[in-house]
Amino acid sequence: MYVTFILECSKYTFLNDSTRATTYSNITVSLCDSNLLIGWYRFGGRQESQMPESCVPIMRCGAAAPGWLNGVHPTVADGEVSRKVCFHWTNNCCKWSVNIKVRNCGGFYVYKHLEPPLCSGRYCVKGLPPTTGKLSNQTKFESLFCFLSIE
């Protein structure tokens, strides 16, 4: 049997902030992923946590412009694939977009994220429970700045 070692399936950063959940809605703050470094990420929470494959309503996932995977997740056999992530704003489910890499690691997915095309864009996750905690004052300040600079 031939086994291939896939580096990104063992060397990734966990993103398990429950404010990324598609069910999380907070209209007073907007977080953003402009601070994410380019690299491989895995969404935490349950094993099936992954990016949604359909449009997410605005002001969800802790973001003014939530990001969702415009396409299907790959199989293990597909290897590393390119997919488009759309960011929803106003009445346009794909107002902004960026291409990322996705890999199925057999039981979970990893995503090679790029900086979103706007500050108020944030990658969403389905499969995470929404948070019930409060955000810090610094996070609220950063969120306000991102929200004000969306257009």
Give the model confidence (pLDDT) of 119-148 as tens digits. 889 999 987 665 544 444 333 333 333 333
Q: How confident is the model at residue 84 (pLDDT cuts 50, 70, 90)?
A: very high
Provide mean pLDDT across the span 77-103.
Answer: 96
- According to DSSP, residue 53 is labeled S
Q: Tell me the pTM.
A: 0.81
Residues with Cβ within 8 Å of residue 113, at least 6 apart in sequence: 33, 36, 38, 39, 41, 100, 123
The domains of the chain are located at 7-128+135-142
85-97 pLDDT tens trace? 999 998 999 999 9
